[in-house]
Structure 1
């Protein structure tokens, strides 16, 4: 009798496991979990200005063949709120810079402070500068000039 209950439990577990995987295989969207970026969306912005991007979001620069996507936070040594720190710290963020019309792209790591690396880069006849990083790293403001 115990063997029958064990076999029934194992069968039920297998059915649940297969059923859980079938929603992914069937193409139904799987919602983003905590800490996972939402699907990318594109915002349009004028050149010579600041734009704030959420993690995974992309900005298309009006009048230029240039898009900027905030792809990930590489590192974050910034001082946390309500803490006393000797050094302010820095965040390093990765961006994908693209020229969609030419089919070219490059990645750039920009830093929130000057101590460990560049705060700006040049691409597609534009300068892209990291202006600020949100407290939780989910948002970054860049200046395009």
Structure 2
């Protein structure tokens, strides 16, 4: 094999590997389609999915599971545990945004936050942590 071809192939492999690794390492979930969320009602978001709140300049994106110590199905646990989820809250018209970590239980942190004259409350988390139900009012 020609040394020049070998080096070119090795370089191409490195570029593909580093490119793929960086997206995984960044922990960026694949975004699902955006959904419309009526104000005051519950909406379920998949990891990476965003909800635009009807009648408000507000979007809520479920970005990641920060921690999950909940008791797994079929296990006997002394403590129920809880999940901590991260959300990106945006006010697109003003260009404002913030992040919030919401908890499924009351032991270690808030279950709700306020942003853009709205209250965002974590209502429930699916067993696998891939879906979060929030109420935005």
Normalising by structure 2, report the TM-score.
0.83
Partner of 2:10: 17
Aligned match for 1:39, one of 6, 17, 31: 31
- What is the alpha-carbon distance in structure 1 between the residues aligned to residue 31 and residue 120 of structure 2? 23
Distance 1:10 1:77 in 2: 52
Q: Give the structure 2 partner of residue 74 of structure 1.
A: 66
Q: Which has the larger radius of gyration?
A: 1
- Number of equivalent positions: 134
Secondary structure at the aligned position of 2:31 is classed as coil
Gaps of at least 5 residues in structure 2 are: none
Tell me which of 40, 60, 65 is aligned to 2:52: 60
- Partner SS, residue 10 of structure 2: helix
Structural RMSD (CA) = 3.0
Q: 1:14 to 1:36 in 2, by over 3 A?
A: farther
Tell me which of the two structures has the higher relative contact order, counting C-alpha pairs closer than 8 angstroms and 6 or more residues apart.
2
SS of match in other structure, 2:100? strand
- Give structure 1 stretches of 5+ with no counterpart: 1-7
Query: How far apart are the structure 2 equivalents of 1:135 and 1:55?
Result: 13
**1:109 aligns to what?**
101
Q: Which position in structure 2 is the counterpart of 1:140?
A: 132
